[in-house]
């Protein structure tokens, strides 16, 4: 009890509150900038935490993490440019709603769902971290492969009327991730002697090319026009209690999905957002609205990706195993403070554990306050003429991608994928399955090969593991449901 009171005192100190707010603001800015993310912000600002108290330094960095996860939705909604991969699903409905003259409503739904997802995830971290960490430990190659295949089954739900076209683009995405070094044997694949391709295709430049650049091409041609004359003070552009009532079940379910996904090391917010989006569409009474401005779609994606923020700390704090890239970076922050994540942290530094949990709750509250204050300002972006916006966005995309890896090759990647997405749009081919293949392909390939190596080539390993079998059954159910649904609609 004494440790909890001590943690409470430090968490609500003036210094900690200031740094949490600063962290959230920095995270939102970095998350909204194409090519950057909360993780990049943490790397840049981590050296400045050396002389701070442990709880203050970690609260500052966690503020950047949570703010960055939400920040990606701002540009995803306003200009169809996901700041992070986790916001790609948000762009599908968020931008469509913004084009209808309701950007403020989309932004408020994203903000509210993000904060609720983060709070649910934090409470899970507080109460059930030991249980979830035990479940996460049961995941081996077979389970990870089945989880990835379950994620890829979402292709059937985001392919529009033609599942074949969706599968075609999904396979193209899987083909893209095969470029580079073989993760098992270290042999170069499909590089054609190009040293830059040996490192593979980075997901962030591909993401920006697929969504941002292709959208700029469309806007430049006059294909896509935003309702710049929309009245931002109108009732239609406000998030109402009726909207919240309609979406609350989706938000809570997606928060739970994100929480579970986040507790499994090696997954991440992007996977959680797509799985949450697919589940929301599957059970929705109005699935036809998804992809054309559904607030349920925005709520599902944002609650799912922010549901990861608290639970991804479960394997880190309880086992010392980073759950994703950001928590891997946070290991460095712990070590800078002379702390080692893992079981000994619970034994020797329980006041710090309590402080992290309390700070995460407060961070999500501050994120809502800051986000609510800036939503109307963000929504004004849609009033900027396209002639002025496109050059600025293009420069931001190029600079953001170049800064991330200091490589002009990444700039070429966004141009190639931008052209690819533009041509795909002309041919009525869905781009989202291509992105899913890029995001989930590495997990599927690597863990499939590891599982087969462990079983000496026997595919039975995927059916002998209970968790793996569970996900395979879900895959079959998902595909059958979408096939039946498409047949009914065609009739």
CA proximity to 214, closest of 419, 437, 435: 419
The tens digit of pLDDT for each residue in 92-103 reads: 888 888 888 888
CA 303/CA 297 separation, integer angstroms: 10
Domain boundaries, the chain: 1-490
Of 145 and 159, more confident: 145
pLDDT band, very low/low/confident/very high, at 254 (cuts 50, 70, 90): very high
436 pLDDT higher than 90? no
Sign of the CA dihedral with 394 first, then 397, 398, and 399 last: positive
Q: What is the DSSP letter of 384?
A: S
Could you please report the per-residue DSSP string of 301-360? HHHHHHTHHHHTHHHHHHHS---SHHHHHHHHHHHHTT---SHHHHHH-HHHHHHHHHHH
229 pLDDT higher than 50? no
* pLDDT for res 353: 83
226 pLDDT higher than 60? no
* pLDDT for res 225: 47
Helix ranges (DSSP H) in 263-307: 269-283, 295-306
Of 212 and 415, more confident: 415
The tens digit of pLDDT for each residue in 104-158 reads: 888 899 999 999 999 998 888 888 766 665 666 677 888 888 878 877 776 655 5
Of 151 and 18, more confident: 18
The tens digit of pLDDT for each residue in 171-180 reads: 888 888 888 8
Candidate from 45-59, 153-167, 461-475 with smallest mean pLDDT: 153-167
Mean pLDDT, the chain, whole residue set: 80
CA 10/CA 8 separation, integer angstroms: 6
* pLDDT for res 99: 82
12 pLDDT higher than 90? no
The tens digit of pLDDT for each residue in 323-372 reads: 667 777 787 788 878 887 776 777 777 788 888 888 899 999 999 998 88
pLDDT band, very low/low/confident/very high, at 36 (cuts 50, 70, 90): low
CA 377/CA 97 separation, integer angstroms: 17
pLDDT band, very low/low/confident/very high, at 1 (cuts 50, 70, 90): low
Full-prediction pTM beyond 0.85?
Answer: no
Of 128 and 279, more confident: 279
In whole angstroms, how far apart are CA 105 and each of 6, 91, 92, 102, 267?
A: 40, 14, 15, 5, 30
């Amino acid at each position: 009890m004494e440790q909890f009171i001590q943690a409470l005192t430090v968490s609500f100190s003036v210094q900690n509150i200031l740094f949490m707010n600063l962290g959230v603001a920095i995270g939102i800015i970095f998350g909204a900038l194409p090519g950057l993310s909360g993780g990049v912000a943490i790397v840049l600002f981590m050296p400045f935490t050396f002389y701070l108290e442990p709880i203050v330094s970690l609260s500052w960095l966690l503020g950047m993490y949570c703010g960055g996860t939400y920040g990606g939705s701002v540009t995803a909604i306003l200009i169809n440019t996901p700041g992070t991969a986790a916001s790609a699903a948000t762009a599908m409905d968020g931008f469509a709603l913004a084009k209808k003259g309701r950007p403020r409503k989309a932004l408020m739904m994203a903000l509210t769902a993000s904060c609720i997802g983060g709070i649910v995830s934090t409470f899970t971290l507080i109460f059930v971290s030991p249980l979830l960490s035990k479940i996460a430990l049961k995941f081996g190659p077979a389970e990870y492969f089945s989880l990835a295949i379950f994620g890829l089954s979402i292709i059937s739900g985001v392919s529009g009327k033609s599942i074949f076209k969706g599968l075609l683009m999904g396979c193209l995405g899987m083909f893209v991730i095969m470029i580079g070094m073989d993760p098992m044997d270290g042999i170069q694949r499909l590089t054609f002697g190009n040293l830059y391709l040996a490192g593979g295709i980075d997901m962030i430049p591909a993401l920006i090319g697929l969504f941002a650049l292709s959208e700029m091409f469309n806007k430049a041609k006059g294909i896509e026009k935003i309702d710049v004359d929309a009245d931002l003070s109108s009732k239609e552009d406000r998030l109402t209690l009726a909207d919240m009532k309609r979406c609350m079940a989706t938000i809570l379910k997606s928060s739970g999905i994100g929480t579970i996904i986040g507790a499994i090391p090696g997954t991440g917010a992007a996977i959680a957002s797509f799985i949450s989006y697919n589940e929301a569409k599957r059970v929705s009474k109005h699935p036809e609205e998804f992809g054309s401005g559904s607030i349920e779609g925005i709520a599902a994606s944002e609650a799912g990706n922010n549901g990861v923020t608290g639970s991804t700390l479960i394997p880190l704090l309880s086992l010392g195993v980073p759950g994703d890239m950001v928590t891997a970076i946070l290991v460095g922050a712990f070590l800078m403070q002379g702390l080692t994540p893992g079981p000994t942290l619970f034994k020797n530094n329980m006041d710090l554990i309590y402080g992290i949990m309390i700070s995460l709750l407060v961070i999500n509250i501050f994120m809502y306050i800051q986000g609510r204050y800036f939503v109307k300002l963000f929504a004004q972006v849609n009033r900027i003429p396209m002639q002025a916006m496109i050059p600025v966005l293009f420069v931001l995309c190029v600079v953001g991608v170049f800064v991330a890896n200091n490589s002009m090759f990444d700039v070429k990647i966004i141009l190639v994928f931008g052209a690819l997405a533009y041509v795909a749009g002309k041919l009525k081919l869905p781009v989202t399955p291509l992105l899913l293949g890029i995001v989930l392909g590495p997990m599927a390939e690597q863990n499939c090969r590891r599982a087969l190596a462990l079983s000496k080539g026997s595919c039975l390993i995927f059916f002998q593991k209970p968790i793996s079998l569970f996900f395979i059954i879900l895959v079959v159910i998902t595909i059958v449901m979408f096939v039946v649904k498409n047949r009914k609609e065609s009739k």
